[in-house]
Amino acid sequence: MKNKNAYIAIGIVCVVLGAALTVQIRTMQGENSAVAQAFANSELKDSLLEWKEKSENAEKDLEESIKKLEKLRDTSTANGNSSEEKQEELKKYNQILGLTDVTGEGIVMTVTDSAQSSTAIDMNNLIIHDSDLRSLVNELSNAGAEAISINDERIVSTTAITCAGNVILINGNKVGSPFTIKAIGSQASLYGAITRAGGYTYGLKARSIQVETKKVNNIQISRYTGALTQKYAKEDK
Amino acid sequence: MMIISIIVGCILGVVIGFITPTIPYTVSQYLAIAIVAALDSVFGGIASNIKKNFDMKVFISGFFVNAILAMLLTYLGEKLNVDIYLAAIIVFVGRMFNNLGIIRRYYLSKISEKSKKIREKDKK
């Protein structure tokens, strides 16, 4: 008889155990538990690494293809004067489009977020926004810059400078402060446009953003690494 | 007999668990501790039953007092920002393994006795 009681008692505790387990599992299914979050995090890290590798591979492929293309152009225009002229023309247009590495005199600007971190001032004024970079590029273009790059992102005809949270996207790539803006063109006119009284950098300095402008004689600006393609615009005949 | 009561109890429990609504997230920590306490009680009950010293009062009071103390420790740990419930879990799981060892030895010796008897019969 005593034995039977033991079985019943253990059975009752098992009922409690089963009910509690089921309720617990049903509750945890809907929640983001710490374990589930850690799993999600490591999965995200894995996929990030994968994509990074893929993008690196793609960049390598692109470089190889560009080299191949140059070789093909060289061989196809190896004979004949007219084709040599065409080759020169092609090179010139590629340079204007920003598809070649270029060197020349110009200015180098370093623009850094404000070192102040006061809560009394509007934080928005202390950091550099995409609109600031757009205005600077605009100013440089207006002063006759022939090639511009920001943190080695070449500004070309299709370049967009957009805001993406706490970073800025240029050509779809992330850049952050400090920004190094290189511009090739007439040193005097570029320097004058940037440092003139009431110019855009005046406004930046008033917001305590650090702007440093230097005249440099031998600036190297690397080419645009993306692809310039047009799908909808057709040539007029 | 023992296995039947455990299985029937668990099935009943799961059915009840599906009927009852889910609990808020903050309470689930306490329920988890209660689950571990219940598991410990089940193993302890089976082991003491095997040792033939099962006492209903000890079993029931052990289940409730252990579960309540573990929940109190969890609550205290939450207030002190120390995971004290880990200590309760370690003790419970350690005891579970101890009791499992007792249960295992009992059934192993039973099986070996049976096989011995069969062999002796064969010899005769």
**C-beta atoms surrounding B49 within 10 Å:** 21
Share of chain B above pLDDT 90, in %: 13
| Closest in A14, A21, A31 to B17, CB measured | A21
Name the residue type at position B60.
Answer: I
**A3 interfaces chain B, CB cutoff of 8 Å:** yes
Domain holding B85, by residue range, is: 25-123
Alpha carbons within 13 A on the beta-carbon side of A134: 11
Is there a domain that residue B3 lies in?
no
pLDDT number for residue B50: 84
Q: Residues near A8 by Cβ (< 8 Å), separated by ≥ 6? A: B5
CB contact under 8 A, B35 and A20: yes
Q: How long a stretch of residues is chain A?
A: 237
Q: Is the pLDDT of residue A86 over 70?
A: yes
**B42 interfaces chain A, CB cutoff of 8 Å:** yes
pLDDT number for residue B2: 76
pLDDT number for residue A187: 92
Q: Is the pLDDT of residue A31 over 70?
A: no
Tens digits of residue pLDDT in A149-178 = 999 999 998 899 999 888 899 988 888 888
Is there a domain that residue B115 lies in?
yes
B22: closest CA of chain A, how far (Å): 5
Q: Residues near B118 by Cβ (< 8 Å), separated by ≥ 6? A: none
| Euclidean distance between CA atoms A193 and B70, whole angstroms | 73
- Token pair recorded at residue B93: 């799981």
Name the residue in chain A with its Cα closest to that of B30: A24
| Closest in A10, A19, A20 to B5, CB measured | A10
Identify from A25, A27, A33 which residue to disrupt to test chain B contact, counting B C-beta atoms within 10 A and taking the largest count.
Answer: A27
| Euclidean distance between CA atoms B68 and B39, whole angstroms | 14
Chain B, window 83-122: residues with a beta carbon less than 8 angstroms from a chain A beta carbon: none
Is there a domain that residue B119 lies in?
yes
Cis peptide leading into B24, omega within 30 of 0? Answer: no
Q: How long a stretch of residues is chain B?
A: 124
Nearest CA among B62, B92, B87 for reference residue B77? B87
> Which residue shows structure tokens 């009561």?
B5
Is there a domain that residue B76 lies in?
yes
Split at pLDDT 50, 70, 90, the class of A1 is: very low
Nearest CA among A111, A194, A189, A101 for reference residue A147? A101
- Which domains can be identified in chain A, with CATH numbers? 103-221 (3.30.70.1880)
**B49 interfaces chain A, CB cutoff of 8 Å:** yes
C-alpha torsion sign, points A56, A57, A58, A61: positive
Is there a domain that residue B19 lies in?
no
| Euclidean distance between CA atoms A191 and A83, whole angstroms | 40
Q: State the total domains in chain B.
A: 1
**Is the ipTM of this structure higher than 0.85?**
no
**Distances in whole angstroms, Cα of residue A195 to Cα of each of A140, A166, A188, A204, B43:** 11, 27, 10, 11, 82
Which H, E and C letters describe chain A, residue by residue? CHHHHHHHHHHHHHHHHHHHHHHHHHHHHCCCCHHHHHHHHHHHHHHHHHHHHHHHHHHHHHHHHHHHHHHHHHHHCCCCHHHHHHHHHHHHHHHHHCCCCEEEEEEEEEEECCCCCCCCCCHHHHCCCHHHHHHHHHHHHHCCCCEEEECCEECCCCCCEEEECCEEEECCEEECCCEEEEEECCHHHHHHHHHCCCCHHHHHHHCCCEEEEEEEEEEEECCCCCCCCCCCCCCCC
